[in-house]
Structure 1
């Protein structure tokens, strides 16, 4: 029997396989036996281990030396530690990517544990009789789960088993696993994009073009209002949800039917996604709006300013933001004056310029344009680099302008006289309206300090506008 090291401090060591991490565990012992904290969430996460959210605890017992199991890559993360005895462990990266086939080996006793990320094949050989090891997993076993396997004797992995496999106890099933050349790599968890037919969805399709792990849905095949949303997917197979769906008809939202639809899409839908994300450890990305503020501030709005919406649309967006913020892993991208594919303010002004119409445009609302392509670029940056979770403001860089300023610049870029645009106040513009009009924030300027802090540089609004209008 091996001696347990009672003098260790809790520590974490990275291995040669990304995400596979060895932990030294403090074990306290005396003449009566020993005690250890096998898993302690607060301490483990403080060391840098992701809070992987275990939901099931299993124990494996082997009474004979040389019992060997593996190599199995499972669709969940595992925390493996020894209850009694000692094992030799071998781990092989079977995930799709540049480290496919990488090998790491180590001996484990009660003073060591290892975190095994999804898709890394794991195998264990007992070195002492009456060995038991325990493992936490962050998904419930399911017959629908998919696995990948590697043969214990694979020549490429060339694992140096302490007890030769010819002398070990190995199941016939494990002996029949394929060699590395025939192993199908474990694909990464998927990204689900909701609302992929809108202007942001179109930009996201272009940004993620060719990325096989991204799954696209539209309103026709994914109902955010469904009561069975929690069963709509095997959610443990997803790493990220990008919610590009939104109700944006700000004036129609002030009508009885519009109010109901706006609350369903902008608030209830994100709340349902937040529950799913929280339960399954998914990162939820959501797009917010300057309309969550009343526009009365005399400075740019920061991410931590309290929301204070004026109308129904702003109220529903604020409610959606608050719901999304309950998901432990969330990014809220707050934008203003969004321009993308389809009909929008810029296209309307360009059309009026060509038709010879001289428009009146409000000149007391201040902000910056945000192009859908830039939103898509930031979203990709967030999901690939994973900075701190929370809210990130995004607009184009450049001077603060009014809608009338934008209209004049559109006329100018289209080769027309910008003086054809007449500036009017918001009150004057809507004075003759016969249908409900949503209140607009007069100040929509967003502070970009935080997004600069993660190394993201929004492009200049005038450059983007020029490109947008170019043939």
Structure 2
């Protein structure tokens, strides 16, 4: 009896699994899919939702090569097959081939976009596979095929194909040179009309963009109508962000509806369809005591807005295929702090600006690019801080930079404390320190641009 083990192959993501089989004079037993043990050894937690079984009467039945828009875990319930897999995803390994024999003691994890084929070596072979999406006519439109006997692939079939049993459809598949590379599923973006949503249009040009009128987080029932055929990623760029209004009775209800109930509905949707979920979070989940916050710091929100964002983060983290992208002080197309300061500078106004809150700006074009990078790179799931780089500044420092770039004196900005600025106003509490540690996103291969350079370009 072999030990449970997971082996990599020459095709990225294609894994061969050794399965312990327990037998005696009555027959045998095996744990064909054991989530805790297998994911602990490196198998993706791919969330199967459907099981299929192909029963083959005769030796030599040969099927494939089919690349499908879902991940699959392949094994045999009885019998023995020769398996062949071809990477049909666009990239450096397009056309790479891996083969092995599958018996009850061996299974294979096949990532979406990798073509699957097999040939039976014993009669009455039952070929079984788990998949993490439901079959549909629309899904079949995304299949990619290649010829079983293409000389360029040179698959060493144990039984020559001229003596094998093939369907007419499989015989008609194109050669590798004529095959259409597998196209990954697209993303759907909520919050298309917001600052980040507009920036994501450039970073994710093939995505489907939905405005609040089309998908409203405060009305979770509206999310069930999102068409997810051909979609493998949900990006939540929508949120209730009125920090001060969230402290009012009406605002509190709206904040919890959008940032918690609505996010919970998105998590359920992502889980049902096995979609990656990208969720944008905030520095307001912290109390601002630490001068710089890393991804592992426990939540400690000061106000209602921060409480709802922390609760939403916890819901998102309950789904394995998630990216929580935590950011702060966002600047993009539309109303924002930099645009307001630039307008005041142009009008000759000398504003009072808070000088005891510390952080870094985040320009939406870089926030969007970072999200696109995590998705394209297939980065490890989890939470990533993402702001622009550079020194930590106060709001007054940034306002002075804006004034200087607009040809005004830095001294035209009056520096005040948060207490002075908030006197007589109904303001929610703010974290004193909002700077986020960028080591993790940098280690993931994303080069974070400097905030001062982005500010210059914005105001040029």
Partner of 2:353: 361
Give the 5 Å matches for 1:425-444.
425-433=417-425, 436-444=426-434
1:93–1:268 Cα change, 3 Å: same
1:234–1:407 Cα change, 3 Å: closer
Q: CA RMSD in A?
A: 2.6
1:192–1:129 Cα change, 3 Å: same
Q: How much does 1:50 deviate?
A: 0.6
State how many pairs are aligned.
457
Contact 2:187/2:234, CA 8 A, preserved across alignment: yes
Partner of 2:455: 465
SS state of the match for residue 124, structure 1? strand
Give the 5 Å matches for 1:164-243.
164-209=160-205, 212=206, 214-224=207-217, 225-227=219-221, 229-234=223-228, 237-243=230-236
TM-score under structure 1 length normalisation: 0.87
Is 1:248 the counterpart of 2:247 in the alignment?
no
Provide the C-alpha distance between the structure 2 equivalents of 1:97 and 1:397, rounded to a whole number of angstroms: 31
1:449–1:177 Cα change, 3 Å: closer
1:302 to 288, 294, 302: 294
Is 1:110 the counterpart of 2:104 in the alignment?
yes
Partner of 1:423: 415
Q: How much does 1:450 deviate?
A: 3.6
Contact 1:96/1:188, CA 8 A, preserved across alignment: no
Provide the C-alpha distance between the structure 2 equivalents of 1:145 and 1:458, rounded to a whole number of angstroms: 37
1:414–1:274 Cα change, 3 Å: same
TM-score under structure 2 length normalisation: 0.89
Provide the C-alpha distance between the structure 2 equivalents of 1:129 and 1:389, rounded to a whole number of angstroms: 42
Specify the structure having the higher radius of gyration (Cα).
1
Provide the C-alpha distance between the structure 2 equivalents of 1:73 and 1:389, rounded to a whole number of angstroms: 24
Provide the C-alpha distance between the structure 2 equivalents of 1:430 and 1:38, rounded to a whole number of angstroms: 62
1:77 to 71, 76, 101: 71
Provide the C-alpha distance between the structure 1 equivalents of 2:291 and 2:424, rounded to a whole number of angstroms: 31
1:284–1:181 Cα change, 3 Å: same
Q: What are the Cα deviations for residues 8-56 of structure 1, in whole angstroms up to 9, with x where unaligned?
A: 3333333333322222323334444333332222232222111111222
Contact 1:331/1:390, CA 8 A, preserved across alignment: yes
1:52 to 5, 24, 46: 46
Partner of 1:131: 125
Provide the C-alpha distance between the structure 2 equivalents of 1:460 and 1:74, rounded to a whole number of angstroms: 41
1:449–1:86 Cα change, 3 Å: closer
Provide the C-alpha distance between the structure 1 equivalents of 2:150 and 2:366, rounded to a whole number of angstroms: 47
Structure 2's unaligned 5+ residue stretches are: none
Structure 1's unaligned 5+ residue stretches are: 1-5
